[in-house]
Chains A and B, each alone.
Chain A
Amino acid sequence: MTPRDGAIVSLRGVGKTFENGVAALDGLNLDIAEGEFVPLLGPSGCGKSTALRIIAGLSEASAGAAAAPAGNIGFVFQDPTLLPWTTMAGNVALPFTLGAAGNSEPHAAVARALARVALSEFAEAYPRELSGGMRMRAAIARALVTEPRLLLMDEPFAALDEITRFRLNNDLLAVWQELRRTVVFVTHSVFESVYLSQRILVMTPRPGRVFAEIAIPVSYPRDERFRTSAEYAGYCRQVSDALSHAMGGAA
């Protein structure tokens, strides 16, 4: 893989071996350009999440070099990971509470972030009073509130039902088109990655590395018509085949 100009995330030969001897990543190379929306697609336990944690600086690579913008990164976990003892507004304001700098006044930024994910009227509600999809939207609002250059998402919609998942996919695309931030999105769903992205990185099982790179040159905005088109089905088949090759043809 050749390095790209203007890459804001760049991993070179990154390996990660845990203390228990499990090699999660080995020789992982990837480049992500400013403003791109890139899914890391692979089977469960292929080290995708580990790669994301290394990019975020939450974990250290045991080999290779990782370059990513320091600070001002948004992160969305598989679970909403909200503070249950505070309101939606309090949760979204957390980065500011912990001293993160925003581009604007914190109050206004929180209100804007909540509005963006359609949670304005639930600002004073506690997480347990809302549905799983709403909690996930709050987690996205929290990640976006500091207007980060880089948004990292670790299978954020895996625990949600399909209807909610489709909705949040659309919401996420709308936000991405509006803000044009760089998004790295870990998923094990072929359909989700094709729907969302311009370029998919297919990973091998553990130890994970990039097996294939598939471009999805379809213009945005994408909607339900794209989701039901033959073109979409074609890409899904292509990505599915790549994924099954990555897994050694077993699947």
Chain B
Amino acid sequence: MTRTKKDRALRIALPLAMLALAVLAWDLVVRAFAIPPYVLPSPARVGATLVNDAPLLWQSLKVTLSIAFQGFVLAAFGGIALAVTFNQWRIAEYSLYPYAVILQVTPVIAIAPLLLIYLPQPLAVLACAWIVAFFPVLANTTLGLNSVDHNLVSLFHLYKASRWQMLLHLKLPAALPQILAGLRIAGGLSLIGAVVAEIAAGSAGAGSGLAYRIAESGYRLNISRMFAALLLLSLAGVAIFLVLSALSHMLLRRWHDSAVRQER
């Protein structure tokens, strides 16, 4: 086996082995100390819950993913559009950028209760997902649009490119790697935003997302369902990250150094 192949096998095998060890330890601890399931359920019990509650959990997963997805799409379009506006129109940047920063640094968990008062719950949850997800898109796109090679800008001036051509043929493609990096962060954050808002809505909420399930199961001491829902949330986050990484790789693989594997 060559070095790289061996390396790749280890990269897959080692985390799996760690997982197996952790689950085994968990199981042994539960058995050894005879911990009751309403304190800490065994892995087998969590697995069984995952299967038995599948219809319910699946329904909740769809709700949360749908909100996270909508929040992400709005954040992507909103963030890119705002960054382009800032880039083209300095007055807009000076007027609005500080507020974008304030929105970002204010913890969303503190904003969520207010939003829940003024907006119907689904909309409030969506707004939270959007608020946390849009800033990295805005910040990264702004950085990308501003870091275009000066000589290329000169070249475009030499050929009398219009503002629109400059944006479409130079600035946006040049910013693409940064935009994609922003989107990758935004994907994870939109899920976090949706979860935070659902938790804030708590049992008062009429929602049925996964985070709501976790809160509700907590009140009912259904600990194994909490674990099952948490597991699904983690998997959803990983899936979002993988999809966005694949998209990024696909778009950049021919031309950007970040996506090209260098042979040593």
Interface residues of A (CB under 8 A from B): 53, 56-58, 71, 73, 75, 77-79, 81, 83-86, 94-95, 97-100, 126-128
With A97-B169, A98-B161, A98-B169 as contacts: A84 and B256 at CB distance below 8 Å: yes
Question: Knowing that A58-B154, A100-B160 are A-B contacts, what are 11 other residue pairs whose CB atoms are under 8 Å apart, sorted by A's residue number?
Answer: A56-B158, A58-B157, A58-B158, A77-B154, A78-B151, A83-B169, A85-B174, A94-B159, A98-B160, A98-B165, A126-B255
Nearest CB on A from B58, distance (A): 40
**Cα distance A97–B161 in the bound complex, in angstroms:** 9
Select from chain B the residue with minimum beta-carbon distance to A100: B159
B160's partner among A77, A94, A99 (CB-CB below 8 A) is: A99
* Residues of A close to B257: CB separation below 8 A: 128
**Cα distance A85–B161 in the bound complex, in angstroms:** 18
Q: Does the CB pair B254–A77 fall under 8 Å?
A: no
* Residues of A close to B236: CB separation below 8 A: none
Q: Does the CB pair A128–B260 fall under 8 Å?
A: yes
Interface residues of B (CB under 8 A from A): 149, 151-152, 154-161, 165, 169-170, 173-174, 176, 254-257, 260
Nearest CB on B from A106, distance (A): 13
Interchain residue pairs A-B with the least CB separation, the first 8: A98-B159, A81-B151, A77-B151, A84-B255, A98-B161, A85-B255, A85-B173, A126-B255
Most chain B beta-carbon contacts within 10 A, residue among A57, A71, A73, A75: A75
Q: Does the CB pair B151–A99 fall under 8 Å?
A: no
* Residues of B close to A57: CB separation below 8 A: 158
B156's partner among A79, A98, A126 (CB-CB below 8 A) is: A98
**Cα distance A177–B157 in the bound complex, in angstroms:** 29
Select from chain B the residue with minimum beta-carbon distance to A82: B152
Select from chain A the residue with minimum beta-carbon distance to B155: A81
Q: Does the CB pair A83–B159 fall under 8 Å?
A: no
Nearest CB on A from B264, distance (A): 17
Q: Does the CB pair A99–B159 fall under 8 Å?
A: yes
A-B contact count (CB 8 A): 57
Select from chain A the residue with minimum beta-carbon distance to B256: A84
Nearest CB on A from B144, distance (A): 12
Enumerate 7 A-B pairs (CB-CB under 8 Å) in ascending A order: A73-B158, A83-B173, A97-B169, A100-B160, A126-B254, A128-B255, A128-B260
B155's partner among A71, A75, A78, A85 (CB-CB below 8 A) is: A75
* Residues of B close to A99: CB separation below 8 A: 159-161, 165
**Cα distance A71–B160 in the bound complex, in angstroms:** 9
Select from chain B the residue with minimum beta-carbon distance to A74: B158
Q: Does the CB pair B255–A81 fall under 8 Å?
A: no
Select from chain B the residue with minimum beta-carbon distance to A71: B160
**Cα distance A55–B254 in the bound complex, in angstroms:** 36
**Cα distance A97–B173 in the bound complex, in angstroms:** 15
Most chain A beta-carbon contacts within 10 A, residue among B159, B161, B173: B159
**Cα distance A92–B120 in the bound complex, in angstroms:** 55
**Cα distance A57–B154 in the bound complex, in angstroms:** 10
* Residues of A close to B260: CB separation below 8 A: 128
* Residues of A close to B170: CB separation below 8 A: 83
Q: Does the CB pair A75–B173 fall under 8 Å?
A: no
**Cα distance A57–B152 in the bound complex, in angstroms:** 15
* Residues of A close to B255: CB separation below 8 A: 84-86, 126-128
Most chain B beta-carbon contacts within 10 A, residue among A79, A84, A86, A126: A84
Select from chain B the residue with minimum beta-carbon distance to A125: B254
Select from chain B the residue with minimum beta-carbon distance to A96: B159
* Residues of B close to A75: CB separation below 8 A: 154-155, 158
Most chain A beta-carbon contacts within 10 A, residue among B155, B157, B176: B155
* Residues of B close to A95: CB separation below 8 A: 159
Q: Does the CB pair A85–B154 fall under 8 Å?
A: no
* Residues of B close to A126: CB separation below 8 A: 254-255
A77's partner among B155, B156, B159 (CB-CB below 8 A) is: B155
Q: Does the CB pair B151–A79 fall under 8 Å?
A: yes
Q: Does the CB pair B158–A83 fall under 8 Å?
A: no
